[in-house]
A and B are shown apart, each in its own frame.
Chain A
Amino acid sequence: MAKDITYILVFLGVLMLLALPLGHYMAQVFTGRRTFMSFIIRPFESGLYRLCRVNENEEMSWKQYSLAFLLFNAVGFMVLFLLQIVQGRLPLNPMGFGSVRWDTALNTAISFVTNTNWQAYGGETTMSYLTQMVGLTVQNFVSAAVGMAVALPLIRAFTSKLRNTIGNFWVDMTRSVLYVLLPLSIILAMLLVSQGVVQTFAPSVKAQTIEGTEQVIAVGPVASQVAIKELGSNGGGFFNANSSHPFENPTPFSNFLEMLAILLIPAALPFTFGIMVKNRRQGWAIFAAMMILFLVGLGAAFWAEWQGNPILAQSGLGSSTNMEGKEVRFGIGPSVLWGQVTTVTSNGSVNAMHDSMMPLTGLVFMFNMAIGEVIFGGVGVGLIGMLMYAILAIFLAGLMIGRTPEFLGKKLEAREMIMAVIAVIAPAMASLIFAGIAVAIPTGLSSLNNPGPHGLSEILYAFFSAAGNNGSAFAGLNANTVFYNLATGFVMLVGRSATILPALAIAGSLAMKKSVPSSSATFPTASPLFTVLLIGVVLIVGALTFFPALILGPFLEHLLIFAGRTF
């Protein structure tokens, strides 16, 4: 226990040490100032603009920005979909994989474009190297970059006055890739290779086992994909076993690095926000809300795991500690920490099977995703999601002090409320509705491997994961069916667009507003009270929305386990 706590403290300490300067660096990048990287990257950047005929000083209205976002994703989707369909006839396919099934291809295309990286397929047995690299890895970069880019208009809107433009989508995205994602993933890939992560174009290796049978060992360009899958909140592994696979995550150090990479950008963005809105304390207030929610969830998960499984104890195993589904290489601490890190950030890569965690741990993980991935959340979109909750919190707080609510000097009115409400409830509703459908129809139930509340948890987990654009799965559900591919695909689209488009609309309307000077009558949003209120709103909205579902799924399973029943 003490070891686990020390591990966590060291982890969070290193995270803070890296996130603060990164937040600062990103603020410089996104406000167009020179950074120490500019001398290398700037020529590429301006070259790219010239090549694509983008005028980097031209700003877009929120509608143009949204259109650019939709267009870019539509093209990305089409390319990725077609690539999977025709991969059999394309090069870099040493294993000779054929065309991917249409519904799987559709689901995968949506999944990678929306930065979800839900994988209905096994990577090493389905996708050619070309698909992995040109399709999936490219989307890993650009979908993350899109997520970061779309957060910027909202941030900028707080400081712009009476403007009808919110920035340039192409510039925001290019900068996210060139200045942030690319350098960081090169560094990370190098470090991972040093730890023994595979990076090769050679086909799978065949080995003779001791029993004399032949074993196929899948390899490939793994390190490069793993780096960006962690940094960009993607989570789609090269291998089906994701980061519990020794070629993706060979050592405790690589494990530490990968977790760090998952949280790094999401944890740095609140600081970027604070600097860009010229109110650093505001950045800290949001960061604090995220961190406290993170720690509360982590505490609950650890409590559940340390408590162990009474059935294991009864069966005479000596220890009730539940190691099933966890990598013995990592043990309880890093496995639970990884689970918490990956579910709060919409990353979705795993180093243990969440399905096998204690039910209450599963409940925490589900809650993290169900509330919309706002505890740090995915790169960019996590901050957006938290700001949407902040708008709700400030609306209530503003009313309670007798003023039209205002956030950083901008008045929150009907338009902001519509958009914030949509952003908060639409993904939640989509996940509940489709989970409801899935348990009501035979097609949905036939994918289940476990009956009872555990089965319900599997289905709920799948849809919460899709709605939160997380992508991790509670193994045990065969999601590669037409129904689940289409249903989760739709929910992923809702989860992504119902967060980003309302945020852009709010950015458009905030940018048009005047800024109200603050006074003693203004609710100080850069304060501990704000942090408390924000945490309260996230928890209350989440609890009220998911109480019945989570009670019938993981909570009931927990009670039944302690009553001696298994599923």
Chain B
Amino acid sequence: MEKTTPKFWQSKLIKTSIKGSFLRLDPRLLWHNPVMFVVEIVSVITSLISVSNLIYGGPFLFNIHISIWLWFTVLFANFAEALAEGRGKAQAETLRRAQSEAYAKRLLANGQTETIPALSLRKNDMVVVEDNDPIPGDGEIVEGVALVDESAVTGESAPVIREAKGDRTGVTGGTRVLSGRIKVTITANPGETFLDHMISMVESATRQKTPNERALEILLVGLTVLFIVVVGTLAPFGVYTGVKITLPVLVALLVCLMPTTIGGLLPAIGIAGMDRLIQHNVIALSGRAVEAAGDVNVVLLDKTGTITLGNRMATDFIPAAGIKNEELVEAALFASLADETPEGRSIVALAKYRLDRRGRDIKPSPEAKFIPFTAELRMSGISWNGREIRKGAADAVAKFVQERGGVIPESVTAAVDRVAREGGTPLVVVDSTRALGVIYLKDVLKEGIKERLSQLRLLGIHSIMITGDNPLTAAAIAAEAGIDDFVAQARPEEKLKLIRKYQAEGNLVAMIGDGTNDAPALAQADVAVAMNAGTQASREAANMVDLDSNPTKLLDIVEIGKQILMTRGALTTFSVANDVAKYFAIIPAIFVPFFPMLGILNVMRLSTPNSAILSAIIFNAIIIPLLIPLSLRGITYRPMTAMALLWRNLVIYGIGGLILPFIGIKLIDLLIVFLHLA
């Protein structure tokens, strides 16, 4: 994950961002950001006034000072946006590089293949990928099976199996086949892949504003218009009072009052949110979905792979009455030696541990015959020397014993019932007609899942586990993991019904899915994360793709969604709270020369009117670059209740935003006096 995180102050990134901040002065680009667009217009006006003052006489030096800092205000804002965009692109480019240099073997109608550059592939082309070939583009396997190295995209070094027909058919351009031969239909034209999509989401020119961003922008534009009127009418009020206020001073007041801090950082905050998603190896296909993630109040989680490790593990052996524990463990070990399923391996591991035989390898006698697990038998085992050791589901094993004239003793049945009641899976171990005992198989929770789920609860998010297990098992796991609700014996189609039900109650529902039969549910969910390894259908239905195919990602996505909104809210509050201090700097500066008694408003005791105005405008400009790290990183987010979070942010950004500029402006004023700037 770390590999894709460019260093914050990477010099190349800084250079392109500085260049970008000047390119963005182009009004055709800047008008996307109305607040900064207004600042640019007034910067032009004050610059023109300064120049004409130089030619025709007038207070040139002060005006040019103001103009310079106005331009800096715009440039700083542009820089923030360019930096966020640059970082996102840099991350995307590292993913894309492998892809664009590749060649593809395209399958022709006559069955032959031709080698063409990957970039000239089109949707629905069929390509063949063999050992050590890079996969030329996003696509779906239609034939064959291969071991794929996806480390270029996910950073995960262990190769994964991808095969036709099933839920693991998706392949990503830029990954590499290690072994195997697959036929792949290309599902996206160059320039339309997920990566391209993501790049366009961080590119400010093509980026769509998200609904919340638009709502906030309306507020900012409203404030801007209001302050234009406030400052505009101050001119006639001034004249009436006998004070003629020059245009550059009015402009300085206007820009100080306008929400330039949040206005300047707003695009960067949104883009940086996308960047953070990419750092988590999640590609968002819509900004709306990222925002919605912050609002989600119901999440559907598949049990397997999300809440529990994929498989059940042996956790205990319960011997039948009169059977020694050791005998049971040994029999279980033998019965599982050839069992390559994860359950089987976990039995072997536990048995070896219990028998303290980790060092020694246990080998069955050479004439032993393994009975593999089959769906008909529903048990597996080993036979040698007339011994028939079997392990399997209670009813299947009971049948096996009865056929041989034996009977399952009461103690075993009781143990089976107990294990089932506790949510585990009992496997009965028999040696021909003798029932030896029960292996306790249990779902093992993923590490840290309990904490994540309790965080979700703090966020007010209701978690629902979907599982094919029986209600008893499901309830036990739900209780252990601390999940709010579960749906047992669920068929995939029921997810759709469930989502609709919750949505009808007004909830926003998030889910993560991979299979083709998840597609309808993904399409219905408000936040739908498809796993990259999933089927094409599921990826198309989703609005986010997780390159790591890690279902717990959903929780990260929710947090990033919230963080984006919180950063916006906090900086808006900060920006507006700042205005109070600026009034106390500029209003006395304008009027004290005429009405000395208004000096009581000069609470900061700023040295001269000019230095006061300059200090305010400089503070207003440099607060933007100072807050760039915060807006790119997002404000610190801890799961806590809404009330606690609001208090915290109100105190830091509201009260802090009220006080900080008083101090900042005073310090700048001292510096200006020290440097004899005004």
Report how far A462 CA is from B505 CA in the complex, Å.
Answer: 50
Residues in A whose Cβ lies below 8 Å from that of B239: 439-440
Q: Is the beta-carbon distance between B225 and A425 smaller than 8 angstroms?
A: yes
User: With an 8 A cutoff between CB atoms, is B106 at the interface?
Assistant: no
Interface string of A257-280 (1 = CB under 8 A from B): 000000000000000000000000
Q: Is the beta-carbon distance between B241 and A425 smaller than 8 angstroms?
A: no
User: With an 8 A cutoff between CB atoms, is A456 at the interface?
Assistant: yes
Interface string of A416-439 (1 = CB under 8 A from B): 111001101100110011011101
How far, in Å, is A290 (CB) from chain B's closest CB?
Answer: 21
Q: Is the beta-carbon distance between B219 and A417 smaller than 8 angstroms?
A: yes
Interface string of A395-430 (1 = CB under 8 A from B): 111111111100001001110111001101100110
How far, in Å, is A514 (CB) from chain B's closest CB?
Answer: 4
Residues in A whose Cβ lies below 8 Å from that of B649: 400-401
Report how far A556 CA is from B241 CA in the complex, Å.
Answer: 10
The interface of chain B, by Cβ under 8 A from chain A, is: 211-212, 214-216, 218-219, 222-223, 225-227, 229-241, 257, 291-292, 294-295, 297, 457-462, 505-508, 561-563, 565-566, 568-570, 572-573, 576-577, 579-580, 583, 587, 591, 595, 597-598, 600-601, 637, 641-643, 645-647, 649-650, 653-654
Q: Is the beta-carbon distance between B598 and A551 smaller than 8 angstroms?
A: yes
How far, in Å, is B439 (CB) from chain A's closest CB?
Answer: 42
A–B Cβ pairs within 8 angstroms, 18 of them: A396-B572, A399-B212, A401-B566, A401-B569, A402-B569, A409-B506, A416-B215, A425-B225, A437-B236, A440-B236, A456-B240, A515-B506, A517-B506, A517-B507, A520-B457, A540-B577, A549-B230, A556-B241
User: With an 8 A cutoff between CB atoms, is A533 at the interface?
Assistant: yes
Report how far A562 CA is from B216 CA in the complex, Å.
Answer: 44
Report how far A560 CA is from B643 CA in the complex, Å.
Answer: 46
Residues in B whose Cβ lies below 8 Å from that of A440: 236, 239-240
Interface string of A367-405 (1 = CB under 8 A from B): 000000000000000000000000010011111111110
The interface of chain A, by Cβ under 8 A from chain B, is: 161, 392, 395-404, 409, 412-414, 416-418, 421-422, 424-425, 428-429, 432-433, 435-437, 439-440, 445, 453, 455-456, 514-517, 519-524, 527, 529, 533, 536, 540, 543-549, 551-553, 556, 559-560, 562-563
Q: Is the beta-carbon distance between B507 and A544 smaller than 8 angstroms?
A: no
Closest to A451 in B: B240
How far, in Å, is A537 (CB) from chain B's closest CB?
Answer: 9
Q: Is the beta-carbon distance between A439 and B236 smaller than 8 angstroms?
A: yes
Q: Is the beta-carbon distance between A399 and B506 smaller than 8 angstroms?
A: no
Q: Is the beta-carbon distance between A544 and B211 smaller than 8 angstroms?
A: no
Interface of A, secondary structure class, is helix
Residues in A whose Cβ lies below 8 Å from that of B505: 517
How far, in Å, is A419 (CB) from chain B's closest CB?
Answer: 9
* Given A402-B645, A521-B297, A548-B587, 9 new contacts (CB under 8 A): A400-B566, A418-B218, A428-B229, A522-B642, A544-B580, A548-B234, A548-B237, A552-B591, A556-B598
Report how far A33 CA is from B577 CA in the complex, Å.
Answer: 46
How far, in Å, is A400 (CB) from chain B's closest CB?
Answer: 4
Residues in B whose Cβ lies below 8 Å from that of A523: 642-643, 646
Closest to B595 in A: A556
Q: Is the beta-carbon distance between B566 and A399 smaller than 8 angstroms?
A: yes
Report how far A543 CA is from B647 CA in the complex, Å.
Answer: 23
Q: Is the beta-carbon distance between A392 and B642 smaller than 8 angstroms?
A: no
Residues in B whose Cβ lies below 8 Å from that of A399: 212, 216, 565-566, 568-570, 572
> Which of A403, A435, A514, A536 contacts B506, CB < 8 Å?
A514
> Which of B237, B457, B506, B646 contacts A436, CB < 8 Å?
B237
Q: Is the beta-carbon distance between A414 and B591 smaller than 8 angstroms?
A: no
Report how far A50 CA is from B601 CA in the complex, Å.
Answer: 64
Q: Is the beta-carbon distance between A521 and B642 smaller than 8 angstroms?
A: yes
Report how far A404 CA is from B227 CA in the complex, Å.
Answer: 26
Q: Is the beta-carbon distance between A402 and B294 smaller than 8 angstroms?
A: yes
Residues in B whose Cβ lies below 8 Å from that of A546: 230
Residues in B whose Cβ lies below 8 Å from that of A453: 241
Interface of B, secondary structure class, is helix
Q: Is the beta-carbon distance between A398 and B294 smaller than 8 angstroms?
A: no
Given contacts A396-B573, A400-B573, contact A527 B643 (CB under 8 A): yes
Residue from B211, B214, B231, B642 whose CB has the most chain A CB atoms within 10 Å: B642
> Which of B572, B597, B645 contacts A560, CB < 8 Å?
B597
Given contacts A436-B236, A517-B505, A547-B587, contact A404 B641 (CB under 8 A): no
Residues in A whose Cβ lies below 8 Å from that of B227: 544
- Please give me the 9 A-B residue pairs with the lowest Cβ-Cβ distance, nearest first: A399-B569, A521-B460, A402-B562, A519-B460, A436-B233, A421-B222, A400-B569, A440-B236, A439-B240
Report how far A396 CA is from B654 CA in the complex, Å.
Answer: 11
Report how far A134 CA is from B230 CA in the complex, Å.
Answer: 41
Closest to B220 in A: A421
Given contacts A404-B295, A547-B583, contact A520 B642 (CB under 8 A): yes
Q: Is the beta-carbon distance between B237 and A439 smaller than 8 angstroms?
A: yes
Given contacts A437-B236, A439-B236, A548-B237, contact A417 B642 (CB under 8 A): no
Q: Is the beta-carbon distance between A522 and B460 smaller than 8 angstroms?
A: yes
Report how far A161 CA is from B597 CA in the complex, Å.
Answer: 57
Q: Is the beta-carbon distance between A559 and B595 smaller than 8 angstroms?
A: yes
Residues in B whose Cβ lies below 8 Å from that of A439: 236-237, 239-240
Closest to A440 in B: B236
Report how far A552 CA is from B222 CA in the complex, Å.
Answer: 24
Given contacts A433-B229, A437-B236, A559-B598, contact A398 B569 (CB under 8 A): yes
How far, in Å, is B1 (CB) from chain A's closest CB?
Answer: 23
Report how far A59 CA is from B203 CA in the complex, Å.
Answer: 47
Residues in B whose Cβ lies below 8 Å from that of A445: 240
Report how far A401 CA is from B637 CA in the complex, Å.
Answer: 10
Residues in A whose Cβ lies below 8 Å from that of B216: 395, 399, 417
How far, in Å, is A424 (CB) from chain B's closest CB?
Answer: 8
Report how far A112 CA is from B257 CA in the complex, Å.
Answer: 36
Q: Is the beta-carbon distance between B597 and A519 smaller than 8 angstroms?
A: no
How far, in Å, is A399 (CB) from chain B's closest CB?
Answer: 3
Q: Is the beta-carbon distance between B219 and A421 smaller than 8 angstroms?
A: yes
Q: Is the beta-carbon distance between A545 and B226 smaller than 8 angstroms?
A: yes
Residue from A401, A409, A437, A522 whose CB has the most chain B CB atoms within 10 Å: A401
Residues in A whose Cβ lies below 8 Å from that of B506: 161, 409, 514-517
Q: Is the beta-carbon distance between A412 and B222 smaller than 8 angstroms?
A: no
Q: Is the beta-carbon distance between A529 and B236 smaller than 8 angstroms?
A: no
Residues in A whose Cβ lies below 8 Å from that of B232: 433, 436
Report how far A36 CA is from B538 CA in the complex, Å.
Answer: 61
Residues in A whose Cβ lies below 8 Å from that of B597: 556, 559-560, 562-563
Residues in A whose Cβ lies below 8 Å from that of B211: 404, 413-414
Residue from B222, B240, B587, B650 whose CB has the most chain A CB atoms within 10 Å: B240
Q: Is the beta-carbon distance between A400 and B230 smaller than 8 angstroms?
A: no
Residue from A398, A402, A514, A543 whose CB has the most chain B CB atoms within 10 Å: A402
Residues in A whose Cβ lies below 8 Å from that of B508: 516
Residue from A412, A425, A552 whose CB has the most chain B CB atoms within 10 Å: A552
> Which of B214, B297, B570 contacts A400, CB < 8 Å?
B570
How far, in Å, is A523 (CB) from chain B's closest CB?
Answer: 5
Report how far A236 CA is from B573 CA in the complex, Å.
Answer: 40
Report how far A161 CA is from B503 CA in the complex, Å.
Answer: 13
> Which of A414, A516, A545, A549 contacts B214, CB < 8 Å?
A414
Report how far A424 CA is from B222 CA in the complex, Å.
Answer: 9
Q: Is the beta-carbon distance between B212 and A429 smaller than 8 angstroms?
A: no
Q: Is the beta-carbon distance between A533 and B562 smaller than 8 angstroms?
A: no
How far, in Å, is B134 (CB) from chain A's closest CB?
Answer: 40
Residues in B whose Cβ lies below 8 Å from that of A533: 650
Report how far A515 CA is from B504 CA in the complex, Å.
Answer: 9
> Which of A401, A424, A517 contacts B297, CB < 8 Å?
A517
Q: Is the beta-carbon distance between A544 and B257 smaller than 8 angstroms?
A: yes
Residues in A whose Cβ lies below 8 Å from that of B573: 396, 400
Closest to A402 in B: B562
Q: Is the beta-carbon distance between A432 and B643 smaller than 8 angstroms?
A: no
Report how far A435 CA is from B294 CA in the complex, Å.
Answer: 45
Given contacts A432-B229, A548-B587, contact A543 B642 (CB under 8 A): no
Residues in A whose Cβ lies below 8 Å from that of B460: 519-522
Q: Is the beta-carbon distance between B212 and A404 smaller than 8 angstroms?
A: yes
